[in-house]
Structure 1
Amino acid sequence: MIWIRICVHLLLFITLGVHSSKFDVNPVTDDISRLSILRQNIPKDYRIPVHYVPKEEGGMCWVKLNVFYLEESLQDLAHKFGNISSNRKDISIFIQMLQELRLNLGTLDLIMYDFECHYREERWQTARYFDFVKDFLIAAQNREDSDDCDPPPCPTTPHTTTTEQYSKETVTSSTKDCATGCTPHHDQHFLPEVVERSLLSLLFIPLLALVFLLVWKVRSRRNEQDLHQNPGEDGLFTGTEGTAPPLDAEISEKNKLNVIETV
Structure 2
Amino acid sequence: MFHMREVKSENIPSDYRIPIRFITKDVGGACWLYVNLYHVESSLKTLALKFGNLSTNKANITIFITMLEGFRFTLDNDELEVTMQTFECHYRRGKWPTRRYFNHVKEVLTAAGSAMGKFQDCTPPPCQTPPAPPFTPGKSRQQNGMNGAIHGLLALLIIPSMTLLVLSVRMVFRRSRCCAQRMHEVNLNEPYDEAEESRTGPHSGAAQGDLDPSSSSQQDRAWLDSLGCADTEV
TM-score relative to the length of structure 1: 0.46
Residue 123 of structure 2 corresponds to residue 153 of structure 1: no
Distance, in Å, in 2 between the alignment partners of 1:117 and 1:72 is: 19
Partner of 1:241: none
Choose which of 25, 29, 34 in structure 2 pairs with 1:59. Answer: 29
Larger radius of gyration: 2
- Residue identity over aligned pairs, in percent, reads 47
How far off its partner does 1:135 sit?
1.2
Higher mean displacement: 79-88 or 142-151: 142-151
Distance, in Å, in 2 between the alignment partners of 1:77 and 1:112 is: 22
Distance, in Å, in 2 between the alignment partners of 1:138 and 1:84 is: 27
Per-residue CA shift, 1:201-259, capped at 9, x if unaligned? Answer: xxxxxxxxxxxxxxxxxxxxxxxxxxxxxxxxxxxxxxxxxxxxxxxxxxxxxxxxxxx
Partner of 2:144: none
Distance, in Å, in 2 between the alignment partners of 1:136 and 1:40 is: 23
Aligned residue runs from structure 1 range 13-24, under 5 A: none
Residue 139 of structure 2 corresponds to residue 133 of structure 1: no
CA RMSD of aligned residues (A): 1.8
Secondary structure in 1 matching 2:95: strand
> Counterpart of 1:104 in structure 2: which amino acid?
T
Partner of 2:58: 88
Distance, in Å, in 1 between the alignment partners of 2:24 and 2:64 is: 21
Aligned residue runs from structure 1 range 19-168, under 5 A: 26-27=1-2, 29=3, 32=4, 34-35=5-6, 37-107=7-77, 108-143=80-115, 146-157=119-130
Distance, in Å, in 2 between the alignment partners of 1:97 and 1:115 is: 24
> Counterpart of 2:122 in structure 1: which amino acid?
C
Distance, in Å, in 2 between the alignment partners of 1:140 and 1:38 is: 23
Secondary structure in 2 matching 1:149: coil
> Counterpart of 1:121 in structure 2: which amino acid?
R
What residue ranges of structure 2 are gaps of 5+ in the alignment?
A: 132-234
> Counterpart of 1:70 in structure 2: which amino acid?
V
Distance, in Å, in 2 between the alignment partners of 1:80 and 1:42 is: 9
> Counterpart of 1:105 in structure 2: which amino acid?
L
What residue ranges of structure 1 are gaps of 5+ in the alignment?
A: 1-25, 159-263
Per-residue CA shift, 1:134-163, capped at 9, x if unaligned? Answer: 1112222222874312111111228xxxxx
> Counterpart of 2:46 in structure 1: which amino acid?
D
Per-residue CA shift, 1:60-117, capped at 9, x if unaligned? Answer: 1111101111100000000001112111111000000010111112221101110000
> Counterpart of 1:109 in structure 2: which amino acid?
E
Greater relative contact order structure (CA < 8 Å, 6+ sep): 1
TM-score relative to the length of structure 2: 0.51
Distance, in Å, in 1 between the alignment partners of 2:26 and 2:111 is: 13
Give the number of the structure whose residues are more often helix, by fraction: 2
